[in-house]
């Protein structure tokens, strides 16, 4: 599945997220508890980061958006780091994109990952409902996303 990323205004994004958060909070108690969900440990994030030289960073996205943690490769220069505000906004956009893909699963089947190809690199979005979060993996432009998705899946499957 190919997804074209578009830029949304900050105001529209805030309105959308406020509505989404209100809907999620109104459903609390009606859905199955998420207490049984596993947390993605730092060791798994570090293992993903170190799994291939084309992996530049790994961000853990929260269910409601934003980034809860990030690990960066030494290959990623400090000038290429996103500031905290931008990082949180990108995390929220990634969560929204994954949410839209889940809505389309009836048509296309389950989402394995979503790949954003940019001029200077790639972003691999992986939904992890069993962890109640998602990953945004920043890759070099030449990275093989399907191969790396397989590696990520293996790392997460380990106990």
Whether the Cβ atoms of residue 145 and residue 130 lie closer than 8 Å to each other: no
pLDDT band at 11 (very low <50, low <70, confident <90, very high): low
Nearest to 55 by CA among 44, 64, 66, 63: 44
Q: Helices marked H in the chain — which ranges?
A: 10-26, 42-49, 84-103, 105-108, 145-157
pLDDT band at 46 (very low <50, low <70, confident <90, very high): very high
Q: In the structure encoding, which two tokens stand for residue 69, read together?
A: 């943690």
Q: In the structure encoding, which two tokens stand for residue 56, read together?
A: 């530049």
Which pTM was predicted?
Answer: 0.75
CATH 1.10.10.10 assigned to domain 38-157? The reply is no
- pLDDT value at 2 more than 50: no
Residue extents of the structural domains in the chain: 38-157
pLDDT band at 36 (very low <50, low <70, confident <90, very high): very low
Check residue 39 and give its pLDDT. 77
- pLDDT value at 124 more than 90: yes
Check residue 115 and give its pLDDT. 96
* Cα–Cα distance, 150 to 130 (Å, whole number): 17
């Amino acid at each position: 599945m190919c997804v074209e990323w578009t830029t949304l205004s900050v105001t529209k994004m805030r309105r959308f997220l406020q509505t989404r958060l209100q809907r999620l909070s109104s459903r609390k108690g009606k859905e199955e508890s998420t207490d049984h969900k596993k947390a993605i440990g730092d060791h798994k994030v570090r293992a993903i980061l170190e799994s291939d030289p084309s992996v530049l960073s790994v961000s853990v996205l929260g269910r409601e958006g934003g980034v809860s943690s990030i690990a960066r490769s030494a290959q990623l220069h400090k000038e290429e780091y996103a500031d905290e505000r931008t990082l949180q906004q990108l995390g929220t956009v990634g969560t929204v994109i994954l949410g839209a893909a889940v809505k389309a699963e009836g048509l296309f089947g389950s989402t394995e990952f979503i790949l954003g190809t940019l001029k200077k690199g790639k972003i691999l979005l992986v939904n992890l409902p069993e962890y109640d979060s998602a990953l945004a993996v920043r890759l070099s432009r030449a990275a093989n996303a399907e191969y790396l998705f397989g590696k990520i899946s293996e790392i997460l499957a380990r106990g």
